[in-house]
Amino acid sequence: MKALIIGCGKFGVRLSEYLVWRNYEVAVVDSNSESFLALGKDFPGRMICGIGYDKEVLEQAGIASADIVIGCTSSDSLNAVVASIAKNVFHVPMVIARMYDPIRARMFEAMGIYTVSITRLGVDNVVEYLEGIKSWRVIRKIGSNVQLIRVRIPASLEGKKYSDLEAEGKIKVIGAERRGHSFIPMMDKFCEYNDIVYLSVSTDYLEQARDLLQL
């Protein structure tokens, strides 16, 4: 698998390290050659100095054969351009863009481009996405012991009571959305397919929570 990362700030460095660990062939593009120092002298990937939306730079970095492109510079506009080029010109199978602007993020999500924000949570969400857990998203970390999770109810859980999603002291339902309407669900009411449910989950129970939610 080949990954192209645009932007070598803290976010890009952490993603590069993760992808190398997962045995991806990684190429990193940044306009400042000194930013590559953060990758360390043992980094096995390629480092290309240039403007991230320049077509020649992208081609030099191998975008034509990339399986995934991640735009993670500090500029929404640059990430948007990179994502658009990757998706619409080079037809890269998986495109991810870091977005600070929630309106622009929603627009790109509608175009099939996965978006993340906030350095710490963004990396976690990219990892979850690459692992195939696309219906599970970390919204916030509450200290080191609790995560606020946003999940989409799969067809297999339709008809289950909201109380079936809880585990005492480990998982708690705190809110839900259905067809654009948000509400606090009664525990004896039933889930519907594609409900968005917000849960507080103990960090020592994340794997079990995914099993419970069949994600």
Whether residues 102 and 188 share a domain: the answer is: no
Q: Taking 60 as the threshold, does the pLDDT of residue 198 lie above it?
A: yes
Give 51: exposed, middle or buried? Use CB within 10 Å, 0-12, 13-18, 19+: middle
Residue 131: the pLDDT is: 56
pLDDT band at 130 (very low <50, low <70, confident <90, very high): low
Whether residues 201 and 114 share a domain: the answer is: no
Whether residues 126 and 151 share a domain: the answer is: no
Q: Are residues 71 and 83 in contact, defined by beta-carbon separation less than 8 angstroms?
A: yes
Residue 120: the pLDDT is: 47
Cα–chain-centroid distance for residue 37? 25
Whether residues 171 and 126 share a domain: the answer is: no
Whether residues 204 and 114 share a domain: the answer is: no
Verdict on whether the full-model pTM lies above 0.85 = no
Residue 188 or 22, more confident? 188
For 77-103, how does the pLDDT look when each residue is reduced to its tens digit (9 = 90+)? 888 889 889 988 999 988 888 887 777
For residue 152, which of 168, 170, 169, 128 has the smallest C-alpha distance?
A: 128
Give 117: exposed, middle or buried? Use CB within 10 Å, 0-12, 13-18, 19+: middle
Given 130, 164, 179, which residue is the final one in a domain? Answer: 130
Q: Taking 60 as the threshold, does the pLDDT of residue 9 lie above it?
A: yes
Residue 125 or 193, more confident? 193
Whether residues 110 and 62 share a domain: the answer is: yes
Instruction: Write the CATH number for 172.
Output: 3.30.70.1450
| Residue type, position 170, single letter | K
Alpha helices by DSSP H, the chain: 10-21, 55-61, 76-88, 102-110, 119-130, 206-212
Q: In the beta sheet, which residues pair with residue 177?
A: 182, 196
> How many domains, the chain?
2
Instruction: Write the CATH number for 91.
Output: 3.40.50.720
- In the three-class reduction of DSSP (H, G, I as helix; E, B as strand; rest coil), residue 18 is classed as helix
Residue 27: the pLDDT is: 95
Whether residues 56 and 36 share a domain: the answer is: yes
Whether residues 90 and 163 share a domain: the answer is: no
For residue 153, which of 145, 144, 143, 164 has the smallest C-alpha distance?
A: 164
For 136-183, how does the pLDDT look when each residue is reduced to its tens digit (9 = 90+)? 777 788 888 898 988 888 888 889 999 999 999 999 999 998 887 899
Given 87, 110, 130, which residue is the final one in a domain? Answer: 130
Whether residues 75 and 143 share a domain: the answer is: no
Whether residues 106 and 197 share a domain: the answer is: no
Given 84, 103, 130, which residue is the final one in a domain? Answer: 130
Whether residues 30 and 79 share a domain: the answer is: yes
Whether residues 123 and 61 share a domain: the answer is: yes
Give the structural domain span for 191. 136-212
